[in-house]
Amino acid sequence: MGLFDRWLGRTIDLNAQSEPFWRGFFGLGTTSGETVTYDRALQLDAVWACINLIANSVKTLPCLVYKEDGVTVDKDSPLYDLLHDMPNLDDTAADFWSMAAICLCLDGNFFAEKKMVGNRLAALNPLHPLCVDVCRDERNNRYYELTERVRGNGKGGKRRINEDRMFHVRGALLPGCDRGLSPIAMERNVVGNALAGEKVSGKMLKDGLLSSLIISSDQVLKGDQRKQISDTLTQFAGAEKAGGITVLEAGFKPYPMTINPKDAQMLETRQYSVEQICRIFGVPPVMIGHAANGTTTWGSGIEQLILQFTKTCLVPMLKSIEAAVFRDLLDAATRKKTFVKFSIEGLLRGDSQARAEFLSKMVSNGIYTPNEARAYENKPPVDGGETAIVNGTMTPLDMLGHNGGPPLDEPTRRAA
């Protein structure tokens, strides 16, 4: 779908100050002269790789609903089927939370309309963030204005959605603002510079890595002679004609008008753009295949990188989603007895040896029951595995000698 096709059939108010719409339609200007839109930003491999990594990581994490104790999964909760399995008829939970991550990375906001059957929440329908405006009425109550495409039934235009019918997740936020800050909009100059670098690189390849030339001559040329010389040299431009030979005579001398890629440090500039984009999204560059200075930490420090990525990138985003669920999907009664949380244990498992050591310590210290440890490895429970066990002799000093032997006398107790 092209840029104009996306907005085809939508009613546009030329007098409206609808920033999200104009930002999505015309893009944002930058110091490099490049116009940045979400579609153009995603055409950068570094932007796509970062957002795809985050979205794929989020989609693998189950969103679980817990009972009041915060430990037992409540599969009977009406929210469990929506958040863990299918939020609506069109999207799986993996699709839904992946879309949430992508929208937060691009726009800083994720919207889903709540569909109700009586007082029961039946579905969550995701909305494109550029189609939703966050507004306030005369009483300062927040509501949402959705701009819909005109469909085959002729319906479209703008539609108002009350705050209690919207699930709204916000990323970075300033006081007094109803919308989260868009990472792409805030860092548009960085993205614009990267787009400009890609354009220059592509143009050089298109021209067969030939620089623009100035031809000097010790003779005075007529207009038709200048045109003939220019046409002769131009026919050798382009990547498909690179390597051609032309002959300059009568004292003609070529002078490059532009600097070559090495002098322009194009490779270094494009590599630095990748690192800048990774900083925007909080992704370690090596996790998207960018090895700075030809070095890599794959194999040796990848577990620490995953831990850093999980703690500094994924966990804040997941916390924003969980907080929005608490605010928008739970009422005053269910907030006291229902907890919603993403399980990130799968990302922190490590290798087989590390998992075995971890589970052994958790079971031997009575933190996990044997069956809980088996469930961690997707193994069926065993008889007698529901009871926590402790493997050790850490006994308080006052209890020494009370387990099958005579009590210690006072001198021995003091010596102990």
Selected residue with higher pLDDT from 288 and 19: 288
Looking from the CA of 251 toward its CB, the CA atoms found within 13 Å total 6
- Asked if residue 329 and residue 284 are part of one domain, the reply reads yes
Dihedral sign for Cα atoms in the order 382, 387, 388, 389: negative
3-class DSSP string for 293-329: HHCCCCCCCHHHHHHHHHHHHHHHHHHHHHHHHHHHC
pLDDT at 411 over 80: no
> 228-286, pLDDT tens digit by residue?
777 666 665 554 555 555 555 656 666 565 555 554 555 666 777 888 999 999 999 88
- 32 pLDDT band (50/70/90 cuts)? low
- Asked if residue 244 and residue 320 are part of one domain, the reply reads no
Per the structure, how many domains does the chain have? 3
pLDDT at 72 over 70: yes
3-state secondary structure (DSSP) of residue 94: helix
The single-letter DSSP state of residue 182 is P
At residue 351, the pLDDT reads 62
d(CA 103, CA 115): 20
Residue 302 within a domain: yes
At residue 359, the pLDDT reads 83
pLDDT at 35 over 80: yes
- Asked if residue 399 and residue 330 are part of one domain, the reply reads no
At residue 4, the pLDDT reads 46
- Alpha helix locations (H) across 207-301? 223-234, 261-264, 266-281
Mean pLDDT, residues 288-292 taken together:
76
Residue 407 within a domain: yes
- 17 pLDDT band (50/70/90 cuts)? very low
- Which residue is associated with the tokens 């989020």? 58
At residue 102, the pLDDT reads 97
Question: Are 178 and 167 contacting, i.e. CB atoms less than 8 angstroms apart?
Answer: no
- Asked if residue 332 and residue 268 are part of one domain, the reply reads yes
d(CA 413, CA 399): 10
pLDDT at 336 over 60: yes
- Asked if residue 164 and residue 101 are part of one domain, the reply reads yes
- 69 pLDDT band (50/70/90 cuts)? confident
pLDDT at 354 over 50: yes
- Asked if residue 339 and residue 248 are part of one domain, the reply reads no
Residue 202 within a domain: no
- 299 pLDDT band (50/70/90 cuts)? low
d(CA 336, CA 313): 29
- 316 pLDDT band (50/70/90 cuts)? very high
- Asked if residue 304 and residue 225 are part of one domain, the reply reads no
- 221 pLDDT band (50/70/90 cuts)? low
At residue 33, the pLDDT reads 73
The single-letter DSSP state of residue 81 is I
- Which residue is associated with the tokens 């569909």? 115
Mean pLDDT, residues 84-100 taken together:
96
> 162-209, pLDDT tens digit by residue?
999 999 999 999 998 999 999 998 888 888 888 777 776 666 555 554
- Give the list of residues 6+ apart from residue 36 with CB closer than 8 angstroms, or none: 27, 28, 30, 184, 185, 188, 191, 192, 195
- Asked if residue 267 and residue 251 are part of one domain, the reply reads no
Which range among 58-62, 69-73, 115-119, 295-299 shows the weakest confidence by mean pLDDT? 295-299
d(CA 55, CA 38): 16
pLDDT at 122 over 70: yes
pLDDT at 215 over 90: no
Considering 315, 348, 381, which residue would you say is the last residue of a domain?
348
Backbone angles phi, psi at 363, to 5 degrees: -75, -45
d(CA 213, CA 230): 10
What distances in angstroms separate CA 61 from CA 54, 64, 79, 101, 414, one per listed residue? 11, 9, 16, 12, 54
**Structural domain that includes position 218:** 212-257
- Asked if residue 341 and residue 385 are part of one domain, the reply reads no
Residue 368 within a domain: yes
Which range among 104-113, 227-236, 393-402 shows the weakest confidence by mean pLDDT? 393-402
3-class DSSP string for 105-149: HHCCEEEEEEEEECCEEEEEEEECHHHEEEEECCCCCEEEEEEEC
- Asked if residue 374 and residue 343 are part of one domain, the reply reads no
Average pLDDT, the chain: 78
pTM for this predicted structure: 0.73
DSSP 367-378: SS-HHHHHHHTT
End-to-end CA distance of the chain: 79
- Asked if residue 291 and residue 381 are part of one domain, the reply reads no
- Asked if residue 395 and residue 316 are part of one domain, the reply reads no
Question: Are 12 and 4 contacting, i.e. CB atoms less than 8 angstroms apart?
Answer: no
Looking from the CA of 238 toward its CB, the CA atoms found within 13 Å total 6
